[in-house]
Structure 1
Amino acid sequence: MAVTGSLTQSESWKLLQQHYAGLKDQHMRDWFAADPYRFERFHLQAAGLNLDYSKNRITEETMRLLVQLAHERELPLHIDSMFSGEAINRSEKRPALHTALRNFSDRPVLVNGQDIMPEIKDTVHRMEEFCWKIRRNQWRGYTNKAFTDVVSIGIGGSFLGPKLASGALKPYWDSRLTIHYLANIDGSHITEILKRLDPATTLFIIQSKSFSTQETLKNAMACRQWFLDNGGNESDLAKHFTAVSSNVEKAVEFGIAEENIFPMWDWVGGRYSLWSAIGLPLALAIGIDNFRDLLRGAFEMDEHFRTAPLEQNMPVIMALLGVWYVNFFGVNSHAILPYDHYLRTLPAHLQQLDMESNGKSVTADGYQVDYQTGPIIWGGVGTNGQHAFHQLLHQGTHFSPCDFIMPMCSHNPIDNFHAMLVSNCLSQSQALLQGKSEEEAIEELIAAGMSKAEAIVLAPQKVIPGNRPSNTLYYPKSKPQTIGALIALYEHKVAAQGMLWGVNSFDQWGVELGKQLGNKVLEALESQRIPQHFDGSTNGLVRAYQQMQDML
């Protein structure tokens, strides 16, 4: 369904502009001093996750007006449309039903009048049988050796989501299997993976809906040739290659047995496909029971997003805070800061999820927006970032809200390591909040032995303005159910923001032009002709490539 009316001309928008004008110069430090219950007032629990959003530049009136905007934009109706199977991906005329992949209720999910739940359940059952055979050595390689390595070949959502979840749940891996993810079309990437492997004990999973994605197919063909060049035969391919694809014919031509081809559906976008058979390498690593727990955690977040009132709805609150900063404070980026080594690839996954979904300048109705949409997503893991880019967060001219993400307990307790990690996380959000005034800096320098005159000169460089917002997402421990809820939380946050901005969060036409031009550029690079038909820069770069090949 479409959002009617202009966002910037809505009554709630105008009220928020007035509210912002009166609030923008206030400091959060003063709010905390005046309200000892601010943490409890701006705190939510859902699906095993806790969200402290008290360190945001908001008051209760801010949240009331933001929720009012959400109602004015008919957000509850849009959420219902997504779960009901309506074709909300209007440009491609199809629904966005990744939530059906983790539907543990008895509710049917209809696409064109047909319940898709039986096919989903059958696929999970097939995944269970597949995992059982591999993990119990019932399915072996061509020399009858058990598999030791699995190479997942995909790109985009077929790569980032499974890699994130695999890393996040590394403590649950079967020690007999190592999972490798191959995505980039770079000879160095595939070389570094394959040189460590034995073709007799390696299983490949090719992840491509069309079985023609350029990078995926090129990498798959290279792996196929490597297998054949190192002892395998054509007749052995079916023992070592499987696929997740809707193009069964091409997969069979490649050498994959039809019974080892798992389905993909048009109503699941790539960046939401972890929950489907695209998650097969993850299921092999952690086992199907843990994979089901991942799905269950996502389902619990789905139910919360679908049913909770907007003012108590965790994804909606995070979405509204994003709109508040992007559209009223003029923020253009958002930092993701996981304090968990196992979540180190979360920023990369959320870059795709958010920027591919809401990096749009035209509404779903085809109108140019007159407001900012999706921010730049960036970040890094733990204390590493504190010794790198946190300087900009604290004292830079750029204003970037942060999400701190933190398990309170570690899978690997060593001495007081985790207490130190948590203390760093909490102190960073505290420093962003309170900052350091010039007077405080002068007092600190004098206490350290500096003269007052010297302290006055140096103090301005030590001033930290504070009043920089952050969320803190925390939970007891990184378990499959918790990680499922966490990933689903961000999926729904991004979807809700897209609904508020009126953009289609489920297409990605912006990536198509580069693909189209790429084939023409490749043809020019591999030819001996001097290019003339591109722009001057591209012509010059193609010539430079050709000349440097001759120099080697």
Structure 2
Amino acid sequence: MSGSALSGLKQLAAKHISLRQAFNTDPGRASRFSTKACGITLDYSKNLIDDQSWQALQQLAAQSNINAVLQAMLAGDKINNTEQRTVWHTMLRKTDVQGLELDGEDIGAAIADCRARMTALVSQLHQGEYKGYSGKAITDLIWVGIGGSLLGPQMAVEALTPYHCSPVKLHFAGNIDGAVVSDVVKNLDPATTLVFVASKSFGTEETKQNALAVRQWFKDNGADAAAIARHFWATSSNIAAAAEFGIVEQNILPMWDWVGGRYSLWSAIGLPVALMIGNEHFAQLLKGAEAMDEHFINAPQAENMPLTLALLGIWYINGFGCQAQALLPYSHYLRLLPSYVQQLDMESNGKSVDINGQPLTDATAPVIWGDAGTNGQHAYHQLLHQSALAVPADFILPLKPAHSLTDHHQRLAAHCFAQTQALMQGKTLQEATDECLAAGMTAQQAAELAPHKVSPGNKPSNTLLLPELSPYYVGALIALYEHKVFCQGVIWRLNSFDQWGVELGKQLSGPIYQALSGSDASKLDSSTQALIAAFSQHK
């Protein structure tokens, strides 16, 4: 989409809309600005839109060729043009993969085989049939990965805690901070521990170093090469590197180059989820994502939930100049969702050039942040309500709790709905003054305190209601945000599926590591030299 088309949003956004007035004058606003998909309800009526601006956003979508790019993606075209890769993560959650081919390869058979191997491994672990080198059953699994190889399964495992049924305990090791691996292995027994290394290239520094540390832990406890081969698995596209590490080929699950890391939950990267919730529930996770895929592909534009979320995000970023978005799940189990969506959104669309390498003239992805409600209400909601900053927010609430404390859940829902109402309507100076007077203050006291209690309101939010936090709805929710990011990338005319921006820091860390180890640092900038010197004094 051209810069001029997006620039037109600024003129539209300059028209003042009072949400409080809009609800007072339009009783049908909530029903008009809401939609449903896969059992999920999206209420977007508390957004700074009217019929004119919403029609303009719909027109923007129609001009953006989203459907053509979507069809190219589904057809296997290499829409990741900078890496010349197909983008086919949606195929990993299809129920029927028979006949699925890409560049002459039977991808359907490969996907089915990978699923079967995952299912078999999970069953063996659940039934205690997988024995370690000492003949004992596996009791613990260490998942070594980072980025999409960690954030996706970690988030989904946490989200589906009520469905955990595994006798095998799961431990994640991602950060290269040595405290992570040290803490993970501290109370484990190598004889009953399985290790899974998740790395497409099998060369990612953090993952490789953590895997080496765990392998050394095995060796320090007397494990030989045969024992290590028995206890180490991997998912990777670099079989040679994994084999060189000591992992036998039959213990390597595939990772295809048409699956980006942040979209890889549906592949063998999802094994920790299958392990913890069981194979049948993992199939339901895939089914929920597939259902959202079908909705996104087939739903009319005006009823398309991912597109609706995408357009609202475009509206605030390019119309109002908003630079952040809050993701506020009112569910303890969804507390890692903001971290997951951070990578999904910011790594996908945090770009400065378009798909042809030309500089973008408009802002793209927002800074995503948030935490579980109601914790955030006692922290950053102060900024949301009274700061001059405008931070659009997504509130997410499962309607049915995963526990028996129903009054707790009713209070949680009350807080969720109240926050969206408070952001929308705010509190005027007159209302704050009347409130102070009703509390027994004098007129002077009320006049002094009331300005501090004013909330401007007119702060936009979406509310997403899930019937319950089941594997199916979690799958649909994740796919919803995936497709939202896709739509925004198409509208901004950028490549959502590469991440070249993360490479520079990796490249520069090599020479710095060498300098920290004693090599010449004279060619580095003076600040970096000083930091190296300070670090070296305390080695």
Q: Tell me, yes or no, whether TM beats 0.5.
A: yes
Contact between 1:531 and 1:543, CA under 8 Å: does it hold in 2?
no
What is the CA distance between 1:129 and its match in structure 2? Answer: 1.1
Contact between 2:166 and 2:277, CA under 8 Å: does it hold in 1?
no
What is the CA distance between 1:488 and its match in structure 2? Answer: 0.5
**Structure 1 partner of 2:35:** 44
How does 1:264-303 map onto structure 2 within 5 Å? 264-303=255-294
**Structure 1 partner of 2:475:** 484
**Structure 2 partner of 1:435:** 426
What is the CA distance between 1:8 and its match in structure 2? Answer: 2.3
Contact between 1:207 and 1:216, CA under 8 Å: does it hold in 2?
yes
What is the CA distance between 1:410 and its match in structure 2? Answer: 1.1
How does 1:234-313 map onto structure 2 within 5 Å? 234-313=225-304
Gaps of 5+ in 1: 1-5
**Structure 2 partner of 1:536:** 526
- Kindly tell me: are residues 125 and 167 of structure 1, through their superposed partners in 2, closer, same or farther at Cα, counting changes over 3 Å? same
2:13 matches 1:20: yes
**Structure 2 partner of 1:3:** none
CA distance in 2, matches of 1:267, 1:330: 34
CA distance in 2, matches of 1:525, 1:15: 51
Contact between 1:44 and 1:312, CA under 8 Å: does it hold in 2?
yes
Deviation readout 1:193-251 (Å, 9 max, x if unpaired): 11121212211100011111100010001001111212422221122111001111222
TM-score when normalising by structure 1: 0.95
2:534 matches 1:547: no
Deviation readout 1:311-366 (Å, 9 max, x if unpaired): 11000000000000000111000000011111111011100000000000100111
What is the CA distance between 1:257 and its match in structure 2? Answer: 2.1
**Structure 1 partner of 2:356:** 365
Alignment counterpart, residue 517 of structure 1, candidates 505, 508, 513: 508
What is the CA distance between 1:449 and its match in structure 2? Answer: 1.0
Matched residues, percent identical?
50
Contact between 1:358 and 1:498, CA under 8 Å: does it hold in 2?
yes
**Structure 2 partner of 1:316:** 307
Deviation readout 1:295-318 (Å, 9 max, x if unpaired): 110000011111111111000000
CA distance in 2, matches of 1:106, 1:254: 32
Deviation readout 1:516-552 (Å, 9 max, x if unpaired): 111110000011x562111111111111111222xxx
Alignment counterpart, residue 492 of structure 2, candidates 501, 518, 522: 501
What is the CA distance between 1:107 and its match in structure 2? Answer: 7.3
Deviation readout 1:340-399 (Å, 9 max, x if unpaired): 111111011100000000000100111101111111011111111111111000011211
CA distance in 2, matches of 1:532, 1:15: 50
Give the letter aligned to residue 78 of structure 2. A
- Kindly tell me: are residues 176 and 105 of structure 1, through their superposed partners in 2, closer, same or farther at Cα, counting changes over 3 Å? closer
Moved more, 140-149 or 457-466: 140-149
CA distance in 2, matches of 1:231, 1:476: 51
Contact between 1:15 and 1:65, CA under 8 Å: does it hold in 2?
no
Give the letter aligned to residue 531 of structure 1. A
Alignment counterpart, residue 340 of structure 1, candidates 331, 334, 348: 331
Deviation readout 1:129-187 (Å, 9 max, x if unpaired): 11111111111112222222111000000000010111111111124122111100011
CA distance in 1, matches of 2:71, 2:399: 34
Alignment counterpart, residue 112 of structure 1, candidates 103, 110, 121: 103
- Kindly tell me: are residues 397 and 123 of structure 1, through their superposed partners in 2, closer, same or farther at Cα, counting changes over 3 Å? same
CA distance in 1, matches of 2:464, 2:256: 32
SS at match of 2:325: strand
How does 1:130-529 map onto structure 2 within 5 Å? 130-414=121-405, 416-527=407-518, 529=519
What is the CA distance between 1:59 and its match in structure 2? Answer: 1.3
Give the letter aligned to residue 173 of structure 1. H
Contact between 1:357 and 1:506, CA under 8 Å: does it hold in 2?
yes
TM-score when normalising by structure 2: 0.98
SS at match of 1:217: helix
Contact between 1:84 and 1:110, CA under 8 Å: does it hold in 2?
no
CA distance in 2, matches of 1:122, 1:144: 28
Give the letter aligned to residue 543 of structure 1. A
**Structure 2 partner of 1:93:** 84
What is the CA distance between 1:420 and its match in structure 2? Answer: 1.1
CA distance in 2, matches of 1:422, 1:413: 15
2:10 matches 1:7: no
Equivalent residues, number? 539
CA distance in 2, matches of 1:14, 1:513: 31
Deviation readout 1:66-89 (Å, 9 max, x if unpaired): 111111111111111121111100
Give the letter aligned to residue 9 of structure 1. S
What is the CA distance between 1:35 and its match in structure 2? Answer: 1.1
What is the CA distance between 1:93 and its match in structure 2? Answer: 0.7
- Kindly tell me: are residues 17 and 283 of structure 1, through their superposed partners in 2, closer, same or farther at Cα, counting changes over 3 Å? same
Give the letter aligned to residue 61 of structure 1. Q
Contact between 1:315 and 1:489, CA under 8 Å: does it hold in 2?
yes
Give the letter aligned to residue 541 of structure 1. L
CA distance in 2, matches of 1:331, 1:17: 11
Moved more, 316-325 or 300-309: 300-309
SS at match of 2:200: coil
What is the CA distance between 1:105 and its match in structure 2? Answer: 4.2
Give the letter aligned to residue 2 of structure 2. L
- Kindly tell me: are residues 147 and 168 of structure 1, through their superposed partners in 2, closer, same or farther at Cα, counting changes over 3 Å? same
Deviation readout 1:108-143 (Å, 9 max, x if unpaired): 544224442121111101111111111111111122
Contact between 1:154 and 1:207, CA under 8 Å: does it hold in 2?
yes
SS at match of 1:476: strand
